[in-house]
Amino acid sequence: MTDYLGGLPGVAENDEATSAGPPTYISSGQLCLFLGEFMSAGDAVRGVNYLYVYTYGGPILLLVNRDHKLLLITDFSDETLLRGMALLARVLKTFQPSPGKFIASGRLVAFFGRHYITMAIPKHPRHSPAVLGLLRRLTEALDELGLMSVEDVKNVVKRVLGLT
C-alpha cells in the first residue's frame, strides 16, 4: 500500500508533471471567481486519483481514490519517504513556488501554503479547477492550525473532505 507514494503514481519520472511547459502561477488573492469554490469537497474528491499532503520536509498523507473507495495512507516505508521527499524537491526546484501560489502543469495541480503543500493528480484535466479549489481549502485549513501531528493532519483532511 505505501508504494503509491514513490514518485507520482501514473506519472513517469520525466513525465509532464514536472517537465511540462511554463506553470501557471496566480496568488490566492487574485482568485475572484473560481469554479472550485462552487463545488462540494465530495464532488471534487471524486475527480482525484491521488491527493498528497506534504510539509516542506516530506510526505505526510496520501489519499488514493480507487474503485469508488478512498484510502488514506499515513504510514510510509523509509524508501517511500525518501522518494516522496525527492518528488517534493523536484517540484520545488522546477516551479520555485511561494506560499499562497498554485501550479497547474500537465497532470499535476498543487497549492503551496506556509506549512503545507497539497498536490493532486486529477482523473481528467476538466477536474483541475475543482481539485485546485479543494487543494486551496485543504491547505488553508491545515496552515491555519500550524504544524501538527500526522493524526491531527489526517483528522483535518477528513473534516475538509467531508469524510467524518
Tens digit of each residue's pLDDT (9 = 90 or more) over 84-136: 888 888 888 888 888 888 888 778 899 999 999 999 988 888 888 888 989 99
The alpha carbons of the chain give a radius of gyration, in whole angstroms, of: 14
Output the pLDDT for position 5.
33
CA distances in angstroms from 44 to 35, 68, 132, 142, 144, listed in the order given = 10, 13, 9, 18, 21
Q: How confident is the model at residue 149 (pLDDT cuts 50, 70, 90)?
A: very high
pLDDT tens digits for range 6-47 = 343 433 333 333 333 333 333 333 332 233 343 455 566 777
List of residues 6+ apart from 67 with CB closer than 8 A: none
**In CATH terms, is domain 41-161 a member of 3.30.450?**
yes
Torsion sign (Cα): 147, 151, 152, 158: positive
Output the pLDDT for position 2.
33
Output the pLDDT for position 94.
86
